[in-house]
Amino acid sequence: MFSMKLRKASLAIATGLALSLTLTACGGGAGSDDSKIVIGIKFDQPGIGLKTPEGNFTGLDVDVATYVAKELGYEAKDIEWKQAPSADRETLIRNGDVKFVAASYTINDKRKAEVDFAGPYFLAHQDLLVRADDNSITKVEDLNKKKLCSVRGSTSAQNVKDKRVPGADLQQYGGYSECLTGLENKAVDALTTDDAILAGYASQKEHQGKFKLLGLKLSEEPYGIGLKKGDKELRDKINKALEKMQKDDSWNKFVQKNLGPSQYQSEPAPKITETS
């Protein structure tokens, strides 16, 4: 009899433990995943997405993503920022490691085969950054026999050299900060990538007044918010948030705050096209 009662007691405890674990896994506890949102951004692009030495996050993408998250029901304190390097963005989305990605993420057909996009929320262009006192480069053809810098693996500088100025002396550095130092020290003559990224670097306090963008618009780079393929509900909610952001003037404030100090002239807020 005692043995039977012991077995019944043990079964009751095991059943209660299993139920508790089930509720926790389903999000029934206070630490539910539903209380947080994970968003992918760049950590190394001033003015766009930057993790500061103090551990803060700044930039246009950060402000846009924070605004969108609030419209989805999350306060800034509920956001977990996850680094999303260019090569990892699709993988992070597919694996569910992030809810969405806002990381200078140009919408194109190749990427749309793997993920869906909301937006665009910004239209960038490939451009050139030169020293503020250098008037020898005013158009892309002036790069002939000049030293053009970009980062290793970037297609921006290679496109300029291959398609526009075969005589350019392409210099590939490990990061844009190195290119910027080379530009300031006259080791290189120009730096190329998206104009928004260039404006972000030029807007940093230590760089203000030293460089200028030429405004050449060598390509169109519509930045969108990447999300899991087929999640129409989330895409529609994000698009609605982006539309509201444009209408209440938050978009203009974010652009001026993050890119304005470089005298960057952005395109108007783009029409949202990623709706199906």
Tokens of 169: 């002396």
Nearest residue to 35 (alpha-carbon basis) of 75, 89, 86: 75
Find out whether 143 and 191 touch, Cβ atoms under 8 Å.
no
Find out whether 97 and 179 touch, Cβ atoms under 8 Å.
no
Nearest residue to 168 (alpha-carbon basis) of 197, 200, 192: 192
- In angstroms, rounded to a whole number, what is the distance separating the alpha carbons of residues 253 and 225? 19
Return the pLDDT at 276. 84
* 159 φ, ψ (degrees, to nearest 5): -60, -40
Return the pLDDT at 164. 86
- In angstroms, rounded to a whole number, what is the distance separating the alpha carbons of residues 37 and 156? 33
Name the pTM for this structure. 0.79
Nearest residue to 167 (alpha-carbon basis) of 144, 189, 190: 144
Return the pLDDT at 163. 84
Find out whether 172 and 193 touch, Cβ atoms under 8 Å.
no
Nearest residue to 165 (alpha-carbon basis) of 174, 156, 173: 156
N-term to C-term CA, the chain:
67
Beta bridge partners of 194: 126
Beta bridge partners of 79: 37
Return the pLDDT at 260. 82
Return the pLDDT at 176. 84
| Domains within the chain, CATH numbers bracketed | 35-124+220-262 (3.40.190.10), 126-213 (3.40.190.10)
Return the pLDDT at 112. 96
Residue 124 class from Cβ within 10 Å (0-12 exposed, 13-18 middle, 19+ buried)? buried
The one-letter amino acid code at 15 reads T
Tokens of 13: 């405890």
Residues of the chain with confidence (pLDDT) below 50 = 1-6, 8-9, 11-32
Return the pLDDT at 87. 84
Q: Output the CA angle 19-20-25, nearest 5 degrees.
A: 95
